[in-house]
Amino acid sequence: MTNTDCKYMGLSLKSPVIVGSCGLTNSIEKMQKMEEYGAGAIVLKSIFEEQITNEVLQSVENTHFDVSYHDASDYIKGYTQMASYEKYTNLIRNAKKELSIPVIASINCSSDGDWVTYAKRIEDAGADALELNIFFLPTDFNRNGADNEELYFKIIEGVKSAINIPIALKTGYYFSGLARMLQSLSYTGISGLVLFNRFFAPDIDIEKMKIKAAPLITEGDGEGFYNSLRWIALMYNHVNCNLSATSGISTGNDVIKQLLVGADTVQIASILYSKGIESIKKITDEILAWMNKHNYSSINEFKGKMSFNNIENPEAYLRIQFMKYFSGIE
């Protein structure tokens, strides 16, 4: 009997298709539909580091208390931190109550600040795992590559010391030694690497002469999809944790490609906005149809089959493919 069962971060999933962190995973009703249509797990909408720090600062500034009066301001700080986290931990609790698939919480962070200790509350609320989205663009001219890399290890170390549930790291690719960095990160005790984070991209409104956000919902985003595909293919069997692919995955064939190069799971978001939550079922049916056609009864039978693991020098291989391809184009 063909099935799509798989393991991710020690969790048993019925499908490798995970709903990635996005606005839709903020609603229990929508998450129930995701489960119904066959999602393997759900990553909740991220709570942002700034949601703690900014809200706290704002509420202190907005009170009539003299903020130099420490007891009062400390009380307000403590209270607003609780309120913000309570909203999020309630979402986790409710999701755990209403769903039977794993619920992965998500924190979007860019520093190794105080917020780290709050990961414990997420664990206490019952999250099955925590995804850390380290949203950090190396834009500071005063920091070198080593400084930037160190931050990742510090954040992971802080969170790891606070909780016992599995941790995944959703990261970008702005490292000069990406393969080595991903490998080193995979040996910090994390259980999954999610490749790759999507950063805010600026676009320009040339009439209003204003900076605006580039479209966030990018169904079938070719560049993002192939970037993940390339790096999953390269990292497969070179990391000490699971791999999850994200970006531009919108069909069953896309999922199969990512699994073939070695992804344990995939994460989807944009397609659910453009084609509805029911597209999870279509994607799952396409995966099953392909498996049946190729006589695979389980994902393990084909996962990683097309990775770059057996290519002795992937760099030379990719360069030769590039030369072959471009030399044929007049």
Ligand X SMILES: Cc1cc2nc3c(=O)[nH]c(=O)nc-3n(C[C@H](O)[C@H](O)[C@H](O)COP(=O)(O)O)c2cc1C
| 78 is a contact residue toward ligand X (CB under 6 A) | no
**Residue closest to 117 by CA, chosen among 79, 166, 91, 155:** 155
Distance CA(81)–CA(55), nearest Å, equals 8
CB 2 → ligand X: shortest distance, Å? 25
- How far is 17 from 264, CA to CA, in rounded Å? 10
Q: Which of 16, 248, 252, 304 binds ligand X (CB under 6 A)?
A: 248
DSSP reduced 3-state for 205: strand
- Map the footprint of ligand X across residues 27-56, applying CB under 6 A: 45-46
Q: Of the listed pieces 109-117, 156-164, 267-275, 301-309, which binds ligand X according to CB under 6 A?
A: 267-275
Q: One-letter amino acid identity for 241? A: C
User: Using the rule CB under 6 A, is 246 a contact of ligand X?
Assistant: yes
| 116's tokens | 């780290």
**Phi, psi at 70, each rounded to 5°:** -60, -40
Rg (CA), the chain: 21
Instruction: Write down the least CB distance from residue 323 to ligand X, Å.
Output: 30
196, 215 Cβ separation under 8 angstroms: no
**Structural contact between residues 54 and 62, judged by C-beta atoms closer than 8 angstroms:** no
Instruction: Tell me which of 4, 15, 21, 265 binds ligand X, using CB under 6 A.
Output: 21
Does 269 sit near ligand X (CB under 6 A)? yes
Query: Which range binds ligand X by CB under 6 A, 115-123, 161-169, 200-208, 215-223?
Result: 215-223
User: In this chain, which stretch among 20-28, 113-121, 234-242, 288-296 interacts with ligand X, using CB under 6 A?
Assistant: 20-28
Neighbours of 8 (CB within 10 A): 24
Choosing from 4, 108, 148, 171, the residue that interacts with ligand X (CB under 6 A) is 108
For residue 297, the tally of other CB atoms under 10 A from its CB is 11
Q: Which stretch, 4-12, 142-150, 246-254, 320-328, contacts ligand X (CB under 6 A)?
A: 246-254
Q: For ligand X, give the closer residue by CB, 217 or 323.
A: 217
**Nearer Cβ to ligand X (129/271):** 271
DSSP string, 120-150: HHHHHTT-SEEEEEE------TT--HHHHHH
Figure out which of the listed residues 104, 249, 255, 260 binds ligand X, where binding follows CB under 6 A.
249
| 270 forms part of the interface with ligand X (CB under 6 A) | yes
Residue written as tokens 């941790």? 167
Minimum CB distance to ligand X, residue 29 (Å): 17
279 binds ligand X, rule: CB under 6 A:
no
By the rule CB under 6 A, 198 interacts with ligand X: yes
Closer to ligand X at the Cβ: 265 or 270?
270
CA distances from 108 to 118, 159, 303 (A): 13, 13, 29
Closer to ligand X by Cβ: residue 24 or 163: 24
Distances (CA, A) of 60 to 55, 117, 154, 285: 8, 21, 29, 52
Give the binding-site size for ligand X (rule: CB under 6 A): 24
Interaction of residue 73 with ligand X, rule CB under 6 A: no
The three-point CA angle 171-225-257 to 5° equals 110
Residues 112-141 interacting with ligand X (rule: CB under 6 A): 133
Q: How many residues does the chain have?
A: 330
Shortest Å distance, C-beta 24 to ligand X:
8
Which residues here bind ligand X, judged by CB under 6 A? 20-23, 45-46, 106, 108, 133, 170, 198, 216-218, 221, 246-249, 267-271
